[in-house]
Amino acid sequence: MVPNSRVEDHVSVHLDNKLTHLSHRHCECNIYRVYDRLRRQNEKAYEPEILAIGPYHHHKANIVMEEHKLWNLQQLLKRRNETSVDRYIVAMRDLQERARRCYADFVSLNEDEFVVMMLLDSCFIIELFRKFTITSMQDVHDPLFKMEWIHHIIWRDLLLFENQLPFFILVQMFEMTKIPDPRDNIIDLAMQYYSCTREYYYYSIWPSPEKISTPSSLVLPHDVKHVLDLAHLVTSHSFAKLLAERNYGKKKKRWEFIHCATELHEAGIRFKKANHSTPLLDIKFENGTLQIPQFTVEEKTECLFRNIIAHEQHLQDPNPKYVTDYLTFMFCLINSSKDVSLLHRNGIINNMLGDDDAICAMFTKASTCVFVSRDGFCYSEVFNDINEHCRRRRNIWTAKLRHNYFSSPWTIISFLGAVVLLLLTSTQTVFTMFPFFHKSFLS
C-alpha cells in the first residue's frame, strides 16, 4: 500500500464523472417548458386546442389533425411526382440531433419517432402557409379550407410557447419543396397566413399587414428560432426602430409606477386614441395627453399575452421585453372596471368580451407572470413624465376638486347647489346692506 495515499470517495468520483461529461446543450436551447407556477395560473393558456407541434405535446395530438398531416404529405408527394418520402427522412435524420438540442426539457420520443414528427409537422406548416397565399394549390377535398373558423384556432396553437418546431427544420422542408412562384418566401407566407386570421383574434397584438413593409426584408430565416419568435420579431421591429430613433436607453433613469387611469384622469390627464398607423406598443405622453393605440380584448387575448411573455422572459438578448413592458403599462392603468370603462369611452380599449370586470380580471391575472426590468423598461420616460405632471401643485388641486366634487352626478349637483346657495346668500346680504350704505352716503 502506497504511504499517504487515500481511497477516493465514491461520491466524488460520481460527481467528477458528471462534470466531465456535462454538455453545453442548454446554451443552444430556445424551446422551453412553461414553469409550474405560471402553468397553474392558467393551464389551458399553454395547451394546444387541436394542433400539436413538436415533441412536448405530441402525446396529446388530435387524431384528426394527425391524419391530416399524413394526407398533406401524401398530397405533396403527388404534386411533386414522388413515390417515396425517403429523401425527406434522410434530411430530417441529418438535422434531428441539432433539433433535439433546441429543446430544454427531456424529449421522450426515440430517434425514429422524432424524425417522423419533424417531417409531418414541418410539412403541415409549410403546406398550410403556401396554400393560403397561393390559392391555386388548394385541394377541393381539403377539409381545412372548407372550415374557415378552424384557422383561427390553428394560428393560436402555432403561437403557443411550448408548441414549437425549430425554424431551420421549416426552412429545410421549404427549400426541398420550393415552387416557381415569386410569392414562395417562407417569411412572407407565414405573415400572409397571419393576415388571413388577424381580423378575428390577433389584430389586438400583431400589426396589420399594411403596417408591415415586406416582412422578408425585416427578418432573415436564419435569425428566427420558431414561429412564435417570428411573430414577435415582426411585431416588435417597428417599435424597436422608434426607440432607437429616440435614443432610448442612452441614459438610465430611476422611475416609479403610475396611478390607474381614473386617478390620472382626475389629475387632469386626458386620454386619446392614437392614429391607426401608430404601432400598438408606441405610447406617448405630450402636453397632458396620454396617446395610446387602440387595443382589442377578446377571449384568446390572455392566452396570447401569456405565451409571448413566456417567450420574452427566455430571450437571452439584452433588448427590452417589449410586450412584457406593454402589459405592465396596461396593468398600471387598469385597476378596476371604472378604468376599463374610461379607456373604452376614449376609444383605447375595444371590448369584445362585453364585460369591464372580465377585462380587469384578465389583466390582473396576466400581470402575475410579468417580471419588469428596472433598467430596461420601455416606458420609463413616459412614467416619469406622467408622475411629474401629477406632482405639480395645480394638478394636485385639480385632482382633489375632481375627486371631491365632480366624481359623480350627485356630487356635481351638490356642488352646484352649494354654489347657487352661496350666490343667493351673498346677493341677499348685498341687498340687505344696500339701504344702510345708501342712507349713509346721502347723509
Other beta carbons within 10 Å of 136: 6
Q: Assign residue 421 a region: left if phi > 0, alpha if psi is -120 to 50, beta otherwise?
A: alpha
Say which amino acid occupies 27. Answer: C
279 within 8 A of 211, measured Cβ to Cβ: yes
Predicted confidence (pLDDT) at residue 37 exceeds the cutoff of 50: yes
Summarised one tens digit per residue, pLDDT across range 215-270 is: 566 788 999 999 999 989 888 888 888 888 877 666 667 889 999 999 999 888 99
Alpha-carbon distance of 43 to 57, in angstroms, equals 13
What are the CA-CA distances from residue 76 to residues 120, 127, 146, 196 (Å)? 11, 8, 19, 23
CA 81, chain centre distance (Å): 42
Which pLDDT tens digit goes with each residue over 83-128?
999 999 999 999 999 999 999 999 999 999 999 999 999 999 999 9
Burial profile 108-124: b = 16 or more Cβ within 10 angstroms, e = fewer: ebeeeebbebbbbbbbb
Contact 271/367 with Cβ under 8 angstroms?
no
- 145 in Cβ contact with 159 (< 8 Å): no
Q: How far apart are CA 405 and CA 412, in angstroms?
A: 6
Percentage of the residues of the chain whose pLDDT score is greater than 90: 45
284-286 and 349-351 strand pairing: unpaired
The pLDDT tens digits of the residues spanning 314-369 come to 888 878 889 999 999 999 999 999 999 999 999 999 988 888 999 999 888 877 77
pLDDT for position 405: 56
Closest CA to 321 of 236, 257, 228: 236
Confidence of residue 4 (pLDDT cuts 50, 70, 90): low
CB atoms within 10 A of CB 174: 22
Give the pLDDT of residue 14: 82
Q: How far apart are CA 57 and CA 37, in angstroms?
A: 19
Rounded to the nearest angstrom, the gap between the alpha carbon of residue 155 and the centroid of all alpha carbons in its chain is: 14
Q: What is the pLDDT of residues 156-171, one digit of tens each?
A: 999 999 999 999 999 9
Q: Which ranges constitute the DSSP H helices of 246-333?
A: 261-266, 301-313, 322-333
Quick check: 403 pLDDT over 60?
no
Residue showing cell 408527394: 77
Predicted TM-score of the model (pTM): 0.82
Q: Is the pLDDT of residue 442 over 80?
A: no
Average pLDDT, the chain: 84
Task: Say which DSSP state 177 is in.
Answer: T
pLDDT band at 401 (very low <50, low <70, confident <90, very high): low
Write the pLDDT tens digit of every residue in 275-324.
987 888 999 999 999 999 998 888 888 898 899 999 998 888 878 889 99
DSSP-assigned letter for residue 276: T
